[in-house]
Amino acid sequence: MDLSGAKPITIADKPLFDRYFDQFPPEISELTFTNLFMWRVYYHWQFLEWEKHLLLFSRDHLPKYHKSIRGNRDTLMFLPPIGPNPAQVVCNIFKLDRPVEFHRVPKFLWDALQILPEARRQAIAWQDDRPNWDYEYLRSTLTTLSGGNLKPKRKWLNRFMTRYKYDFQLLSPNKPELLACIKKAQDTWCQQNRCEDSSDLRMENEAIAEALANYQALGFTGALILVEGSCIAYTFGEMLHPGTMVTHIEKAHEEYEGGYQAIMSLFLQADVWREIEFVNREQDLDSPGLRRAKESYDPHHMVQKGKLYR
């Protein structure tokens, strides 16, 4: 296998990625073009087509930000192959003459590898990656926040609806002023949350800026809430696979009580999501606060992920 033909992701590559995602709908939140593009600098993603599969990998991410499982600094970090036979391609990639790990691997791919004789001969191993499991919820639950467990969330939502005179809008190429409002809201959010003091928040801010700067080309669905003409909450997401959408980003200014509940509920009530049953709200990254928050919204199920190594 020759990786010399791999290249960085650019916006011009979206049609190629979309063809693969349409034919082989992904289960995990990482595998949308918007997500891959907005985080491409942080992960140093490169891609190539090989054996009728789309391959994404990074030479630099593990040495720069994390340790590999075996501790090798030259380990290649791959995402799950996208194509008709990803389990076999995983086995083929493990034949490379340098250390390899697969990250964000959905459980179904590990199940397929366990019954593949070649995978057993190669002694491919699985390590659970709970911080990167995706939380999935019923859209109906998040729009209404119904049920006893969600009563506190529902009170916050009702408080926002009754306290503020708000205007909910979907992003539109015909209203560039709304995009400018979101950018200003993100700047304010970063000031309030001291992004400059957190490398994670700085990287997220840069990723959000990349997505917003390429909004029309990426084609995601975004929305915002205006109060007295100012954007106080915004969000954006897109289809993940039939019946499921993924929310990439959701921000609200905390001085507006119930802002987070309001932008989530109003966004998921939009007509564009009327055929959607499930909402993927990505992972908690092992943050205790984020885990408590995501668990408090009663997830319907989790998308389990792990790492593959030898």
Alpha helices in the chain (DSSP H): 14-23, 33-38, 40-43, 61-65, 86-93, 107-114, 117-121, 139-144, 151-163, 176-192, 199-213, 215-218, 259-268, 288-295
Please give the class, per CATH, of domain 7-132: alpha beta
Q: Report pLDDT digits (tens) over 229-257.
A: 999 999 999 999 999 999 999 999 999 99
> Minimal CA–CA distance to 45: which of 14, 89, 76?
76
Residue position matching structure tokens 């909910």: 168
Pairing of strands 221-227, 166-170: antiparallel
pTM summary value? 0.97
Burial 295-305 (b: 16+ CB within 10 A, else e): eebbbeeebbb
- Going by pLDDT thresholds of 50, 70 and 90, the confidence category of residue 1 is confident
CATH number 3.40.430.10 is the correct assignment for the domain at 134-282:
no
- Residue ranges, comma separated, of all CATH 3.40.630.30 domains in the chain are 7-132, 134-282
Distance CA 209, CA 214 (A): 9
SS3 59: coil
Pair 285, 129: CB distance under 8 Å: no
Average pLDDT value for the chain: 97
Q: Report pLDDT digits (tens) over 33-82.
A: 999 999 999 999 999 999 999 999 999 999 888 889 999 999 999 999 99
